[in-house]
Amino acid sequence: MKVAVVSNPRHRAGDLIEFLMLRAVHTFHRFVPVDLLMIEGEFGDAEEGFLSELFRSIKHRKVTLPIIWLPHGTGWNLPPAPEAVDGNGQTVAPAVLLERIRAAAGGFPEFRCSPFEATVAELGADGSIRTERCAMIVPEYPGIGDYHVHTRAAYCSENMDIPKALEMAQLSNLAEIAFTEHSGQLYFCADDYWNGRYVWRTRGTEAGCRVFPRMAEYEETLREGAAAGKFRHGFELDVDRNGDVALDAADRRVAQVRLGAVHHLAERFDPHIAARQFLFCTESLLKYGVHILAHPFRIFAWSGLPEPPELYEPVAELLRQYGAAAEINFHQNEPRLEFFDLCLRKGVKLSLGSDSHNLYEVGFFLPHFRFLDELGVMGRLDEVLFRFQENSDRRG
């Protein structure tokens, strides 16, 4: 049995600690899976709505990880702790289990400051308890950037806000951040976009999807955010079945950073046709001049199709040919080591993208660094990671 403990978050108004707590919830639900999460100690100011985003995200993302809240003091409107829990076959009070883990760990790190460490305890059948620490912030590396962060202009934004995202980027040791909004969502209404109609019935045709212009809204969002700090901006570019990229020539001035992504396939029932279409759309994006191919191959799982490993070689070769980077992305996605290893062998750069739709995700690179470690490149990040300056003058 594994138990994670977050101790003494000590919230103060405006410190964003709730998003680091949310990061811990998602970490222990998916990336460092445990059977139980305990959040205990001094919670700080009992500010109204302090944990509302945490509970909203747990519900939205369908997180099933059991959480026990054990705050010191009163004034917190939290789910009551159960009278007893199963501690590896032995029924004990939550407070008793917590103190056993505390004793085994020699105390808990406080969760109120960087690197925001939690304790993970593995309870043995013989009563032993082995503990280790898990940080929510990866170590600082020169030049690390998150080039895939969304804004409030996204239909799929949960709580995005540029000033707060910049604060999260600073907390997460990022050297650079880029806001890259879905281009298709800035030209089509939500219903046409989510149902993929823009892929079939593209703009500029008699039967095409109605244009629903929102570019001005995105630009206003960027202007408002500019007062909070420096950032880059651009698009996560969508492409239709004809290979036409959803970005007007007049709007390319906003496209400082260009990601390319296949979010919808016109053909989703024949795997062979879908594979050919994906390859065609991918090359169309690369010809256009994208810097980064976002979440390669995710569309197959989203379309209910098996991921085609026979495309790893041609896609990696296209990336090499056009000088674009491959994005490591864990947002509803499982990147494949085989593909990224092939990219590395071809000299293709790797980009880190949080694909943030929630503020807790900005600069959340714990899974990315574990992936880089599996690839065996942690000792040479300067060689393998994408830096925007290297490609900023690319033209399609």
Contacts 24+ apart (CB under 8 A), 300-304: 300/274, 301/333, 301/334, 302/332, 303/265, 303/268, 303/274, 304/268
Same domain, 14 and 129: yes
C-alpha 70/C-alpha 336 separation (Å) is 39
- CA-to-CA separations, 202 to 13, 210, 243, 294, in angstroms, rounded: 47, 9, 11, 22
152 and 112 in a common domain: no
Average pLDDT of the residues in 141-159: 96
Note whether 118 and 133 are within 8 A (CB).
yes
Residue type, 303: S
- Residue for token pair 């000033």: 163
- Distances, alpha carbon 54 to alpha carbons 25, 128, 345, in Å: 9, 32, 41
For residues 264 and 195, give the distance between their C-alpha atoms in angstroms, rounded to a whole number: 8
Record the tokens describing residue 152, joined without a space.
Answer: 């409030």
Which class for 77: exposed (0-12), middle (13-18), buried (19 or more C-beta within 10 A)? exposed
192, 315: one domain: yes
Phi-psi region of 219 (alpha: psi -120 to 50; beta: other; left: phi over 0): alpha
Q: Which of 135, 157, 182 is the last residue of a domain?
A: 135
pLDDT digits (tens, 9 = 90+) for 7-58: 999 988 889 999 999 999 999 999 999 999 999 999 887 666 788 889 999 9
Could you list the residue range(s) of the whole structural domain that residue 52 is in? 2-135
Backbone angles phi, psi at 109, to 5 degrees: -70, 145
Q: Out of 135, 159, 184, pick the residue that ends a domain.
A: 135
Cross-strand bridge partners of residue 293: 260, 326
Residues 129 and 163 in one domain: no
Question: Looking at the structure, do residues 330 and 299 belong to the same domain, yes or no?
Answer: yes
User: pLDDT category, 393, cuts 50, 70, 90?
Assistant: low
Q: Any idea what the CATH number is for the domain that residue 211 is in?
A: 3.20.20.140
**Same-domain pairing of 160 and 35:** no
Pair 334, 233 in one domain: yes
Tokens standing for residue 365: 């690179």
Q: Is residue 396 part of a domain?
A: no
Give the pTM.
0.94
Residues 196 and 221 both lie in one domain: yes
| pLDDT, tens only, 193-208 | 999 999 998 887 778 8
**307 three-state secondary structure:** coil
* pLDDT digits 0-9 by tens, 290-334: 999 999 999 999 999 999 999 999 999 999 999 999 999 999 999
- The domain boundary residue, chosen from 135, 153, 179: 135
Tell whether 140 is covered by a domain: no
Whether residues 109 and 156 share a domain: the answer is: no
217: in domain: yes
pLDDT score for 136: 97
Question: Are 162 and 119 part of one and the same domain?
Answer: no
Assigned domain for 259 exists: yes
Specify the CATH number for the domain of residue 57.
3.60.21
Residue 58, both tokens? 């747990």
